[in-house]
Chains A and B, each alone.
Chain A
Amino acid sequence: MNVTVVTCPGCKNPLPQSICNTGTMTLCPSCDITLRAEVFPAFFKGTAIGQKAETIVEEGTSSCFYHEKKKAMTHCDACGRFLCALCDLDLGGTHVCPACADAGRKKGNVTELETSRTVYDSAALTLALGAFLVWPVAIVTAPAAIYFAVLSWRRPGSLVPRTRLRSYLAIMVALLQLAGFVLLTVSIIKES
């Protein structure tokens, strides 16, 4: 088992075990910075060794779809292909093969694999409010903000729960900007 040390984020010196898991703020003995360290069992467990795929010994044993000389341990819940230990991907209890996992990630069906998303309601609000910095561009950004706000209702949003407040606010601000442009145009026409 490879045991490493817990170091102070300030001075990078090792922290003694006595000041870990106290539940209260203490001082680093090296740099006197106030800190609280919570160490969990995974720290002492070390790095887990991945499971090896077993080689087929007996003829007639089911083999992995991707590694024909490796023994199948399970099957893909999406496509049914047999999988060895190397190819088996466990996503929250669902076993999938690498191809289905990649396909699911690209389609946005597998949230565990998503690392980023476009949030159209934030984009709409950014466009609507950003136009106040350079107001003439509002003639372009206001319709775009309305478009993105409506798009946010039809496309997958954030992974985390959020209301439609941003999209409503973006539409309201964009409409006010467009109304302002209309009034400005009317006043210019009247003066001329």
Chain B
Amino acid sequence: MSVPAIAYKRVPGTGSGAFQTSRLYIGPDHLLLVTTTGWTESYRRFYFRDIQVLILCRTEGGKIQNAILALLLFLSAIIATQVGAGAVVAWSFAAAFALGLFANTLRGPPFACHIRTAVQTTKLVSLGRAARAQRFLTQLRPIIEAAQRTATADDATVPPPAEPAPSSPGS
């Protein structure tokens, strides 16, 4: 038995963890979370009819990243002012950290997106920044609502109200 392949559309953004990356795809009736390690891909599906809540929540990760980059920048600058011959290398590192700090600030604060169904709550790590996550949510909302409206119509089991019996003549 063979079922036709499903067409997926990729959601921009890639999340990374310990030796793995995550990407999100939109299918015809579900979201597909793809987690890739060295040579395997794992798949988790979230069907639109099952999605109860989507929450975007700001995290403190951006502040931590900025603090680390600022510290490295400061240390590189200190080293560059102290050493003689290797100052160019140290200043190069300092410039790189400064650029990283500037880029991280420009990208905006990081957000975590939590998707909740009846049985689980999962964090979607590939939607890292506010602008991208908000666009994703705005794009996805009508799709989920349409799928759940269709599911509600299919599940309707209430019979239509009975028609009133015709009145007999002379009553």
Interface with B: A60-68, A113-121, A134-142, A184-192, which one? A113-121
Min distance, Cβ B75 to any Cβ of chain A, angstroms: 27
Contact B41 A159 (CB under 8 A): yes
Of chain B, the residue at the smallest CB distance from A48 is B155
Contact A160 B3 (CB under 8 A): no
Q: Kindly list chain B residues whose C-beta atoms are within 8 Å of the C-beta of A40.
A: 51-54, 144-145, 148
In A37-72, the 8 Å CB interface with B consists of 37-43, 45, 47-48
Interface size (A, Cβ < 8 Å)? 48
Is the C-beta of A9 less than 8 angstroms from some C-beta in chain B? yes
Give the complex CA separation of A6 and B148 in angstroms: 19
Given contacts A38-B141, A42-B49, A109-B2, contact A123 B43 (CB under 8 A): no
The one of B57, B137, B149 that contacts A9, using a Cβ cutoff of 8 Å:
B57
The one of B38, B43, B49, B141 that contacts A122, using a Cβ cutoff of 8 Å:
B38
Contact B52 A43 (CB under 8 A): yes
Of chain B, the residue at the smallest CB distance from A104 is B1
Contact B52 A92 (CB under 8 A): no
> Taking chain B's interface residues, is the majority helix, strand, or loop, or is none over half, making it mixed?
mixed
Of chain A, the residue at the smallest CB distance from B43 is A115
Give the complex CA separation of A33 and B110 in angstroms: 12
Is the C-beta of A176 less than 8 angstroms from some C-beta in chain B? no
Nearest first, the 4 closest Cβ-Cβ pairs linking A and B are: A123-B39, A78-B1, A43-B52, A34-B58
Known: A94-B3, A159-B41. 6 other contacts (CB 8 A): A23-B138, A91-B3, A111-B3, A111-B5, A114-B43, A119-B40
Question: Which B residues form the contact surface with A (CB < 8 A)?
Answer: 1-3, 5-6, 8, 10, 23, 25, 29, 32, 34, 36, 38-45, 49-58, 109, 112, 114, 116-118, 130, 134, 137-138, 141, 144-145, 148-149, 151-152, 155
Question: Which A residues form the contact surface with B (CB < 8 A)?
Answer: 6, 8-10, 23, 25, 33-43, 45, 47-48, 77-78, 91-92, 94, 96, 100, 103-104, 109-112, 114-120, 122-123, 126, 148, 158-161
Question: Could you list some 15 contacts between A and B, CB below 8 A?
Answer: A6-B116, A9-B114, A35-B55, A36-B134, A39-B53, A42-B52, A42-B151, A43-B53, A94-B1, A111-B3, A115-B44, A116-B42, A117-B40, A117-B41, A161-B8
